[in-house]
Chain A
């Protein structure tokens, strides 16, 4: 299965600032997924990132708040913009590989103060 390196593992940020989270995969993948996990809750899909095209956002998530880049088949970034305390969550990236299912990065624990 794929191995994903996700950075940073955690951060504490001031409200109104932005944080960019990076995911590097050890093999080429078509789709990468970004999830948010609010405290004590399940994972919610933010968007699907395809290389060479705009990310597809789920209902309730917008590009201005969560811009995503996908410059090649092994890398993606998610930016959390103009942060508020409500953005405090774990953010995870994921990829799908045929016959292996879905692999996740180790997550980024974001605290906004």
Chain B
């Protein structure tokens, strides 16, 4: 079964600084998708970024980028120029076509 592991239960960053959230996963599939979701206190799940496993190029979305290392099964999220609104729980997730499997989450605090 696929598993997703986030080893950092909590992280903090100063406003305007850069922070990296870690995620590793385990799968025997060759074709799959990886996601980072943000869940603020409103509990809405917001898609931050996604990566197709067949693409070698790392995905980027404005201040958010990933470091996808397929061989190492690693998928970290880098947030640049952190803003107060980035404070939330961040979940890494895996899908091979239907269901999503989530990691345990990382609570990100942004300090002014």
* A residues whose Cβ falls under 8 Å from a Cβ of B: 1, 31, 33, 37, 41-45, 48, 90, 92, 94, 96, 101-104, 106-107, 109
Contacts and interface: CB of A to CB of B under 8 A. Distances in A.
16 contacts: A31-B98, A33-B99, A42-B102, A43-B45, A43-B91, A44-B102, A45-B99, A92-B43, A96-B95, A96-B98, A101-B35, A101-B50, A102-B35, A102-B93, A102-B100, A107-B44
Interface residues of B, number: 19
B11 interface: no
Contacts of B104: 41-42
B100 A33 contact: yes
Nearest to B101: A45
A101 B45 contact: no
Contacts of A94: 45, 100
Contacts of B100: 33, 43, 45, 94, 102
Interface in B79-107: 91, 93, 95, 98-105
Interface string B11-39: 00000000000000000000001010000
Contacts of A48: 98-99
